[in-house]
Structure 1
Amino acid sequence: MKIKAHLLVLSNRLLVIRVWQSSENIFPEVEGKALVSAKDSPVYVASVKNLSLAAETNDSSYIFFYSLEVVMPCGFMDYPCQRWCHLLNGLWSSLPVPSVQEIVRNDANNVPERYIKYLEDRPLSSEKCPVSLDIPIINLSLLTNGDEDERKKLDLACKDWGFFQIINHGTDEVLPKMKAAVAAFFELPLCEKKKYAMAANDVQGYGQGYVVSVEQKLDWNDLLFLITMPSSFRNMKYWPITIPGFKETLEEYSIELQRVIDEIFSNLSLLMGMEGGFLKELQGVMKLGMRMNYYPTCSRPDLVLGVSPHSDCSSITLLLQDDDITALQIKHKEAWIPVKPVPNALVVNIGDVVEAWSNGLYKSIEHRAVTNEKKPRISVATFVIPCDDVELNPLETMVDDNYRPRIYKNDVKYVDYLRHTLARKMDGKATNLQYLKL
């Protein structure tokens, strides 16, 4: 069987190709040998063991994952290839797009067509956001002291909302320094910021994430993404060393967050019927991925989104946001609820990993960000990322055949879930967690 592929990504056990539908019968399950060709990649003859995943993308193309038995180079052929996504080294690549910050600097009154969302996706086409609901506020100092009532509040927040704000977390002094460091980066000239642009096969760097197609509608933001902890995972070529104190501030903030994260995991472990250190140990070598966002003003905030609806492929996420701009919205009971900033608070949300471990008891909630006309906004989302080989099985204490039957698979590794998630644009929660469900 010959396949003319517009994408080729290959490791010694995984083949990923992108094809366009040519008939009603796309590609059935394949047994035997496949010849895969690409203009700028080697051609491989592989014994294809089975088709392990097939998913439709946003532009009527299809992505296929094949498990390989034998791989051997055999020359080149002349079929075209586009670098659509990359799952070999960094697992992900986002196509380069213009800086939204520069678009606004050049013409603040114009919104390019590519940023105008489809009617059903626009922020004001949804049900009007209720303004009387606030997400729970958790006092971290009480949790640290073993307060049972506060732990029950945390339990309810994770079950009912999947989001909460934490106060008295002990990181107040570093928060303004962190905001200033991020602002300093985005104030650099574009030519300077481009020195830190994402490489073709890397998740880290300056640009915009989850851009997988030239036809895709874009979000109204620029970002800088860095792995900050452990230090051995850092790629320093993306760190803007021209900004005085930038590195030191990110290190200080990361260390303070690690303490907060440990306390949250300790309490979640106890609530899930485990010893206090269980969830931290379960994750292996835990990484902190920091996404620093810049949302320029927008003359038509009713047409665009700062970040499209999504759930997080993390264990948990901690968000530092501006105190005077309400932009984050979470989906609660089919309505979009604005998260009003609380001065010096950190917003915490449950990620897909903890939802799977809790067998769906703790909710990874869909969320998005809107824009405004008057003032740009900065936020810093820190994702807690487990080790690649960690399995996302529901914990035994969270499964009961009579009252809470298992809804998620066994033996799905985090790296496989991450491949599935990062190979597509942000598109709500269901497409992420459906991969994990029975």
Structure 2
Amino acid sequence: MMCDWPEPIVRVQSLSENCENKIPDRYVKPPTDRPLEAILSVHDNVNIPLIDLRSISDDISSGHDHGLDNTLKEISEACREWGFFQVVNHGVSPELMDSAREVWREFFHQPMEVKQGYANSPKTYEGYGSRLGVEKGAVLDWSDYYYLHYLPPCLKDHNKWPALPPSLKDVIEEYSAQMVKLGGRIMKILAINLGLDENCLLKAFGGDNNIGTCLRVNFYPKCPQPDLTLGLSSHSDPGGLTMLLPDQYVSGLQVHKNDNWITVKPAPHAFIVNIGDQIQVLSNAIYRSVEHRVIVNSVKERVSLAYFYNPKSDLLIQPLKELVSPEKPALYESMTFDEYRTYIRTKGPRGKSQLGESQKSPR
């Protein structure tokens, strides 16, 4: 892993404020990757599934009723058909969700010299960043971001969390604790729907005390030529589970399904949940991570918070033995999440090319 970026970093927010009607060539995507060149969904009623979690208690195994069974079924179908779903009545307060989003919006509007004090490097990506991958001369995405660790405790360093706005650290501490709790509940649901013990996936991730969780805050500035670029290139998430708090005013996330790019319409105070590559491996491709990307807007900025729920970095991840049989042999070789993540961080977002799907194909 490189210790520094191959080229000087340019903040996209600064470009947005200073480039009048034209974006730099470094951000112009090839014609096949541009938003308006792709096949877009034209059906206003098409959206990822919306699922109400009010029937899911912390102790899922305490007994099933009709409401719980229906919710489990809805999530199972969403995981198998989409790899994405939205959840409401998830246990995180709407006020906390709004506060978390807005403290980060305030951070991105701090003076540049304040933000530059948290500039990141390719070594860990933690801090204030503006590119993914270390390929020199790569076409870049129209976004800035902030990445920070929460779990395991040994990686959490409050000195790397912004000091401004003053409320940010307390808000994100509370928000992170709630997101870890929600992630654990969803992991149990996924395990039950695979016919496994409810704690099976959590154990494969290292158990409650060993999982890795981190936050990536995405800032997508206004763009004068949104038809030529992307806020985030097409990719599947390399980790286990992603819970996204989208911008409440501006849509931008697109999910790839049946050769269409479907723009997700966020429900009020919902989280968008998606399967990551590590869950695809553990489930032996019963659940699949799905390509997604982000488009940008010419008149409005966007802020979203992606919370990643990941395996312990040095654990070998491979298809669970309960899901492997002579009829369906293991599709993936074992690899630690740290090895896998290093590969992704080096290459940057590249569709699903990182996850080979031939039998015993190394990731």
Q: What is the TM-score normalised by the length of structure 1?
A: 0.76
Q: Give 1:96 shift.
A: 4.7
Q: Which of the residues 184, 200, 210 maps onto 1:262?
A: 184
Distance of 1:237 and 1:208 partners within structure 2: 20
Distance in 2 of aligned mates of 1:399 and 1:297: 47
Q: Which structure 1 residue ranges, 5 or more long, are not aligned?
A: 1-8, 10-84, 87-91
Indicate the structure whose relative CO is greater, using CA pairs within 8 Å and at least 6 residues apart. Answer: 2
The aligned runs of 1:404-423 (5 Å cut-off) are 404-409=328-333, 411-423=334-346
Change in 2 beyond 3 A, CA 1:119/1:196: same
Q: Is residue 94–residue 209 contact of structure 1 (8 Å, CA) maintained in 2? A: no
Gaps of 5+ in 2: none
Q: Is 1:104 equivalent to 2:27 in the alignment?
A: no
Are 2:49 and 1:126 aligned?
no
**Counterpart in 2 of 1:252?**
174
Relative to structure 1, is the Cα distance of residues 417 and 134 closer, same or farther in structure 2, using a 3 angstrom cutoff?
same
2:61 is equivalent to residue 137 of structure 1: no
Q: How does 1:261-410 map to 2 (within 5 A)?
A: 261-284=183-206, 285-402=210-327, 404-409=328-333
**1:328–1:412 CA distance, 2 compared to 1 (3 A):** same
Deviation at 1:188, TM superposition (A): 0.4
Look up the equivalent residue of 2:11 and give its one-letter code.
S
Q: How far has the Cα of 1:324 moved from its partner?
A: 2.3
CA distance in 1 between partners of 2:133 and 2:345 (Å): 10
Asked if the contact 1:391/1:412 (under 8 Å) is kept, the reply is yes
From 147, 151, 159, give the equivalent of 1:229: 151
Report deviation, 1:289. 1.2
Counterpart amino acid of 1:406?
A: A
How much does 1:395 deviate?
1.0
Distance 1:103 1:93 in 2: 19
| In structure 2, distance between residues paired with 1:422 and 1:199 | 11
More strand by share: 1
* CA positional deviation for 1:422: 1.9
Residue 367 and residue 340 in structure 1: after superposition, are their counterparts in 2 closer, same or farther (change >3 A)?
Answer: same
Percent of matched pairs sharing the same residue: 32
- TM-score w.r.t. structure 2 length? 0.91
Deviation at 1:431, TM superposition (A): 2.5
Cα distance, 1:278 vs structure 2: 2.0
Q: Report the Cα distance in structure 1 between the residues aligned to 2:7 and 2:51, rounded to whole angstroms.
A: 39
Q: Measure, in 2, the Cα distance between the counterparts of 1:257 and 1:414.
A: 21
Aligned-partner residue type, residue 420 of structure 1: Y
Distance in structure 2 (CA, Å) of the matches to 1:94 and 1:283 = 33
SS at match of 2:29: coil
Q: Is the 8 A contact 1:108 1:298 kept in 2?
A: no
Q: Output the CA distance in 2 between the equivalents of 1:370 and 1:218.
A: 13
Residue type at the aligned position of 1:341: P
* Aligned AA (2:224): S
- In 1, the alpha carbon distance for the partners of 2:205 and 2:6 equals 26
Distance 2:8 2:129 in 1: 7
Deviations 1:373-400 (A, max 9, x none): 1110000111112112222211122223
CA contact (8 A) 1:122 1:305 kept: yes
Q: What SS does the corresponding residue of 2:41 show, helix, strand or coil? A: coil
- Give the conservation status (yes or no) of the 8 Å contact 1:93–1:202: no
Q: Which moved more, 1:300-309 or 1:132-141?
A: 132-141
Matches of 1:221 and 1:368 in 2, distance apart? 12
**In structure 2, do the counterparts of structure 1 residues 366 and 95 end up closer, same or farther at CA, with 3 Å as the change threshold?**
farther
Aligned twin of 1:55: none
CA distance in 2, matches of 1:200, 1:393: 27
**Are 1:155 and 2:76 matched, yes or no?**
yes
Amino acid at match of 1:122: R
Higher helix share: 2
Alpha-carbon shift at residue 184 of structure 1 (Å): 1.0
Secondary structure, counterpart of 2:217 in structure 1:
strand
1:265 is paired with a residue whose SS is helix
Shift of residue 432, structure 1, vs aligned partner:
3.5
Which entry has the higher C-alpha Rg, 1 or 2? 1
Letter in 2 for 1:181: V
The answer on whether the counterparts of 2:204 and 2:317 sit within 8 Å (CA) in structure 1 is: no
Q: CA deviation at 1:94?
A: 7.6
Structure 1 residue 136: Cα displacement? 0.9
> Matched residues in 1 for 2:14 and 2:111: separation?
10
Is residue 424 of structure 1 aligned with residue 347 of structure 2?
yes
Q: Which amino acid aligns with 1:421?
A: I
CA distance in 1 between partners of 2:5 and 2:338 (Å):
15
The count of residues paired between Structure 1 and Structure 2 equals 348
Selected match of 1:164 from 79, 85, 94: 85
